[in-house]
Structure 1
Amino acid sequence: MIFVELGILLAMILIGSRLKGIGLGVMGMLGLLIFVFGFHMKPADPPIAVLLIIIAIVTTAATLQAAGGLDYLVSLAEKIIRKNPKKITLIAPFTVYFLCLFAGTSHLVYSLLPIIAEVSLKTKIRPERPLSISVIASHLSLTGSPMSAATATLAGLLAYSTAVTDIMLVCIPSCLIGILSGVAVVWKKGKELYDDPEFLEKLKDPQFAASLQKSTETVKEIKPSAKVAVLIFGIAILLIVIFGAFPGLIPNVGEGTPGLIVNADGSVNLTGIIVMVTLSAAALIMLITKTSAIEVAKMSLFTSMATAVVSVLGVVWMSATFMHANEAVIEHVFKDIAAVYPFTFAFALFFMSTLTFSQAATTRIMMPLGLSIGITNPHLLAMFPSVNGDFILPGYPTLVAAMDFDRTGTTKIGKYVVNHSFMIPGIVSVATAVGVGFLISSFL
């Protein structure tokens, strides 16, 4: 019976991923309906904590966007990239990583992709090289950023006081080294631009040749409030890190029955801290910079939140119900293997992330399983970057955008679909990050 149920689970995820948008969420709810009414499974608790974190963090990031803070950060990143054109394959991915690490979202990479493509073209560097690894870097930034839903979710599941700081200590350096290894494998990837027969064929078209001379460089006016908004946002990140490192600073509200926000000992958990701090930061940005709340609701980040919430609700609730119903079988199968070879759990994380297209959803679905079969916290931290398998199927928006912005056509999907431009740098970067993570976590 478990194989039939697993087949339904995978079918709902695969169909949902093809529908895109909220498709993953609604197909997840259909799967949950089938599990409850068809197999009489007891529904698991919906992932309320993850949804609260997504709402709080994305709302704050959208407020930063409305106040001009994201434009200011992107302008700084653009200056760094344009200042070092010949080293763009090295400079671009690290610039993207730190920008997305600070903001807690990989979608900021959209603003830098046309810049990376243009600078590459002008320096006669094959755009596929910096574009592919920059997209991977934007994804890896989420497994380490205190402002990402994935990191906040893992910290909440681990449920010990210094979880946030430990995740940062392990995952930031391991992902940076992973990105460096990705840079190494794309440094000479493919033919040189002006030796590429496909590009040379395109150059025969006068209209295409003329279009390559157009510049994407624009002088965008930065709002006076931008720097103040970035400062407030930065302070919010710092407070989350401080409260994570020094839990004694969090007030105790009295012992009692544990709830969604308050632990049994009376301490406010990380979910509560993140929601309160981030939304308070959003309020201060609105008040101090006089940013309209109506304008915040119109921001692209804010409107994308509905898709994220529906997707996570559906696929995580369905998956958690399947996991709970078959917990005994799953533990029996994987417990002995994980005890001897804990790194094998990284493959399960990676596989699930290729289906869900979400680091936060994968974390919420799979990490409780890792804890239940006895994988230690340091090993889970080491394997955290493996939730970045969303590049395997080249339908994720960041991958599609990179291919669209590369006018030379070097960044592309291969004949067999999976042999696309992002596959090799992605696998190498994630594998290296996990390997280095095991080394670093051994000292915790």
Structure 2
Amino acid sequence: MIWIQFAILLAAILIGGRMKGIGPGVMGMVVLAVYVFIFRMKPADPPIDVMLIILAVVTTAAALQAASGMDYLVRIAERILRSKPSLVVLLGPLVTFVFTLFAGTAHISYSLLPIISEVALQKRIRPERALSVSVIASHLGITASPVSAATAALITILGGKVTLLQVMLVCIPATIIGTLAGVAVCWKKGKELNDDPAFLELMKDPEFAKSIAAGTQLERPPLPKGAPVSVLIFGFAVLLIVLAGSFPGMLPSFTEGSSNMAIDAKGHIKMAAVIELVMLAAAGIIMLICKTTAAQVAKASLFTSGGQAVVSIFGVVWMSATFMQTNNAVIEGTLGEMVKTAPWTFAIALFILSTLLFSQAATTKALMPLGVSLGILPANLVAMFPAVNGDFVLPGYPTLLAAINFDRTGSTYIGKYLLNHSFMIPGLVSVAVSVAAGFFFSGLFM
């Protein structure tokens, strides 16, 4: 019976992935209905915390975008990239990583990818090199960010056994090293543009050649005065969350046993509630001080992307959690001995599931509780956390598609056999190195 249920789950994920947008979420709900009403499976708890964190963080990021704070950051990033165009394969991924680390969502990379592509093109550097690893860096940044839903889910699942500071001390350096490993394998990836027949053919078009020579640095209108202020407010909110997660004693405590969605059994405010509270309060302050309207925030592209992510995670995680809960004994029996002998093999399970779920938060919420029940040490689970970044394997994730579309040379591609695409090699190397480095740093700091 478990294999029939698993086959139905896989079918929902694959069909939903092809539908894109909210597709995975609604297909997850279809299968959940089959599980509950046909297989009589008891529904697991819906992933309320993860959904609310995504909604809160994305709303604040959308307020930042509406206040032109995002444009302010992008212009800073553009100056950095154009100052050393020959190093775009290195600087592009690092800037993208920092942006994601700061904002907690990879969707922020959409504004950077066209700049990275154009800087590489004007320097006659194959855009695939910079774009492919920049996309991977934006994904790795999620598992290093203090305000991402995936990080909050990990801390919640580990139940106070680790602090936010410990996760950051392990995952930030580990994912930076992983990003640099990706840069190394992409440094000379593919043919040089001037030796690429496809590019040389494009250069025969006078308009295309002229557009490259002209460059893309155009005079832009000055940004509103509130733009840098909105960045400061957002940054201060992130700092507050880091402090609250690193030093829980600074938060108010309440009577033990009075637990609810915001308070744990010991009377402490949950980390998820802290992120939701601080982020949405920051959004309100940005709107008040920077004179941004609620309508502008709701129309921001990041808000739309976040809404789709909430629906997707709602359906996929609830479906997956119900499957895991019903078949927990079988799954533990199958994986238990292997994981006890070699705990690092659990990272493979995390990676495989993430390739199907297209979400670091969904994978964390669905599978990390199994790691806890299998007796894997919290330090090892934190070390393996970057393994949830397998969403590049099937080239349907929006950031991958955006990078392909922004590359005017066509060097960034999806291959004939689907899996032989531009992001596969840097992705596999970056994630593997990040996990290996994670074990090293967890041994130092945990």
One-letter code aligned to 1:337: M
Q: Within 5 Å, which residues of 2 pair with 1:247-262?
A: 247-262=248-263
Name the residue aligned to 1:61: 61
Say if 2:16 is the partner of 1:16.
yes
* Secondary structure of the corresponding residue to residue 414 of structure 1: coil
**8 Å Cα contact 2:161-2:378 kept in structure 1:** no
Distance 1:207 1:230, change over 3 A: closer
**8 Å Cα contact 1:162-1:246 kept in structure 2:** no
Equivalents in 2 of 1:32, 1:285: separation in Å?
Answer: 39
Once the two structures are superposed, what CA deviation does each residue of 1:229-272 show, in whole Å capped at 9, x if it has no partner?
11111111111111111111110121224221111121111111
Distance 1:353 1:269, change over 3 A: same
Name the residue aligned to 2:306: 305
Name the residue aligned to 1:326: 327
Equivalents in 2 of 1:128, 1:214: separation in Å?
Answer: 21
One-letter code aligned to 1:254: T
Q: Within 5 Å, which residues of 2 pair with 1:197-208?
A: 197-208=197-208
* Secondary structure of the corresponding residue to residue 142 of structure 2: coil
Distance 1:158 1:306, change over 3 A: same
Q: Within 5 Å, which residues of 2 pair with 1:166-205?
A: 166-205=166-205
Equivalents in 2 of 1:338, 1:237: separation in Å?
Answer: 35
TM-score by length of 2: 0.97
Equivalents in 2 of 1:213, 1:416: separation in Å?
Answer: 35
**8 Å Cα contact 2:133-2:182 kept in structure 1:** yes
* Secondary structure of the corresponding residue to residue 165 of structure 1: helix
Name the residue aligned to 2:388: 387
Name the residue aligned to 2:233: 232
Name the residue aligned to 2:379: 378
One-letter code aligned to 1:86: S
Distance 1:220 1:439, change over 3 A: farther
Deviation of 1:221 after TM superposition, in Å, equals 2.9
Deviation of 1:214 after TM superposition, in Å, equals 4.4
Deviation of 1:216 after TM superposition, in Å, equals 2.7
One-letter code aligned to 2:148: S
One-letter code aligned to 2:23: G
Name the residue aligned to 1:269: 270
* Secondary structure of the corresponding residue to residue 130 of structure 2: helix
Deviation of 1:397 after TM superposition, in Å, equals 1.1
Say if 2:113 is the partner of 1:137.
no
Deviation of 1:138 after TM superposition, in Å, equals 0.7
* Secondary structure of the corresponding residue to residue 264 of structure 2: coil
**8 Å Cα contact 1:113-1:402 kept in structure 2:** yes
Name the residue aligned to 1:87: 87
* Secondary structure of the corresponding residue to residue 143 of structure 2: coil
Equivalents in 1 of 2:111, 2:306: separation in Å?
Answer: 18
**8 Å Cα contact 1:394-1:418 kept in structure 2:** yes
Q: Structure 1: where are the runs of 5+ without partners? A: none
Name the residue aligned to 1:344: 345
**8 Å Cα contact 2:85-2:119 kept in structure 1:** yes
Deviation of 1:51 after TM superposition, in Å, equals 1.1
Name the residue aligned to 2:425: 424
Equivalents in 2 of 1:169, 1:274: separation in Å?
Answer: 19
* Secondary structure of the corresponding residue to residue 41 of structure 1: coil
Deviation of 1:136 after TM superposition, in Å, equals 0.7
Distance 1:370 1:216, change over 3 A: same
Bigger mean CA offset, 395-404 vs 20-29: 395-404
* Secondary structure of the corresponding residue to residue 280 of structure 2: helix
Deviation of 1:215 after TM superposition, in Å, equals 2.8
Once the two structures are superposed, what CA deviation does each residue of 1:301-320 show, in whole Å capped at 9, x if it has no partner?
11222211111110000000
Equivalents in 1 of 2:108, 2:25: separation in Å?
Answer: 23
Q: Percent identity?
A: 59
Equivalents in 1 of 2:285, 2:205: separation in Å?
Answer: 53
Equivalents in 1 of 2:241, 2:292: separation in Å?
Answer: 23
Name the residue aligned to 2:412: 411
Name the residue aligned to 2:74: 74
Name the residue aligned to 2:366: 365
Question: How many residue pairs get matched?
Answer: 444
Equivalents in 1 of 2:422, 2:198: separation in Å?
Answer: 15
* Secondary structure of the corresponding residue to residue 365 of structure 1: helix
One-letter code aligned to 2:80: I
One-letter code aligned to 2:5: E
Name the residue aligned to 1:47: 47
Deviation of 1:422 after TM superposition, in Å, equals 0.7
Equivalents in 2 of 1:181, 1:413: separation in Å?
Answer: 22
**8 Å Cα contact 1:127-1:406 kept in structure 2:** yes
RMSD: 1.3
**8 Å Cα contact 1:77-1:99 kept in structure 2:** no
Deviation of 1:162 after TM superposition, in Å, equals 4.7
**8 Å Cα contact 1:162-1:245 kept in structure 2:** no
